[in-house]
């Protein structure tokens, strides 16, 4: 169990996402646990050097510098009587133009941080689009931005699974290969964000959605990165 929490700075130039695990929903709902998670989000946001969990745990705790974060965690474990761990974290710093946005699904079960180029926070249409992309990532759980981002060995492993599925079929090899490529194409629509159907309009893929808004706004909109915990 546990919580995912996010923070985007007031100037929209820094965004962080943190996941802290505990054992039960009961502890996840306590103020002590929630306050600790929020303090870590604040710390990662305010201290640029903390770019991985190990660095965060070794750092002086933001609300009590006589403790490291790891020592503070140990104290909370002792107080609440349940094992806990800082599982993962992400920090995005905006490079040039664009917008960072976050989305936390009800109850802190899923959290998303996304970095999109091609507009700014003061453009309502662009800001709404970026938030829709964050919602998409939360709902559809992509693993990559485009199919080109999928490592060749991952694609090949998936292709081999589909080849094994059709190996016993009495079809010609070229037909089997076409079936395999069809299955692979469907898999891309699950794991690659740009290939996914837009959750708010299944007639559009995310690639088509971005193209549509790019044309309307007269600028190229591009998803630079995302994290989903």
The confidence score (pLDDT) of residue 169 equals 85
9-20 pLDDT, tens digit each: 988 889 999 999
**Radius of gyration over alpha carbons of the chain, in Å?**
21
Q: How many Å apart are CA 188 and CA 194, to the nearest integer?
A: 9
The confidence score (pLDDT) of residue 96 equals 82
Whole-structure pTM value:
0.91
User: Count of CB atoms within 10 A of residue 187's CB?
Assistant: 18
On the question of pLDDT at 217 being above 90, the answer is: yes
143-169 pLDDT, tens digit each: 999 999 999 999 999 999 999 998 888
51-105 pLDDT, tens digit each: 899 999 999 999 999 999 999 999 999 999 999 999 999 999 998 889 999 999 9
**Cα(first)–Cα(last) distance of the chain, in Å?**
13
The confidence score (pLDDT) of residue 194 equals 98
On the question of pLDDT at 107 being above 90, the answer is: no
Q: Which residues touch 97 (CB under 8 Å, ≥6 apart)?
A: 117, 118, 119, 120
155-206 pLDDT, tens digit each: 999 999 999 998 888 888 889 889 999 999 999 999 999 999 999 999 999 9
The Cα diameter of the chain in Å comes to 71
Place of tokens 């999109």: 116
Mean per-residue pLDDT of the chain: 95
Q: What's the average model confidence in pLDDT over 202-224?
A: 97
Confidence of residue 46 (pLDDT cuts 50, 70, 90): very high
């Amino acid at each position: 169990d546990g919580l995912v929490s996010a923070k985007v700075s007031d100037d929209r130039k820094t965004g962080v996402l943190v996941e802290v695990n505990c054992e039960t929903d009961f502890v996840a709902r306590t103020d002590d646990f929630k306050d600790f998670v929020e303090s870590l989000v604040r710390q990662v946001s305010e201290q640029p050097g903390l770019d991985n969990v190990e660095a965060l745990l070794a750092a002086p705790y933001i609300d009590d510098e006589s403790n490291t974060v790891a020592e503070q965690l140990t104290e909370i474990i002792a107080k609440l009587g349940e094992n806990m761990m800082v599982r993962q974290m992400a920090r995005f710093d905006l490079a040039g133009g664009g917008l960072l946005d976050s989305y936390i699904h009800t109850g802190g079960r899923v959290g998303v941080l996304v970095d999109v180029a091609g507009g700014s926070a003061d453009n309502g249409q662009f800001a709404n689009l970026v938030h829709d992309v964050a919602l998409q990532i939360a709902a559809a759980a992509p693993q990559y931005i485009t199919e080109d981002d999928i490592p060749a060995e991952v694609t090949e492993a998936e292709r081999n699974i589909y080849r094994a599925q059709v190996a016993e079929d009495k079809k010609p090899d070229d037909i089997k290969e076409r079936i395999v490529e069809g299955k692979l194409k469907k898999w891309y629509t699950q794991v690659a964000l740009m290939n996914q159907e837009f959750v708010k309009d299944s007639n559009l893929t995310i690639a088509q959605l971005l193209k549509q808004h790019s044309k309307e706004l007269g600028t190229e909109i591009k998803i630079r990165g995302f994290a989903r915990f």
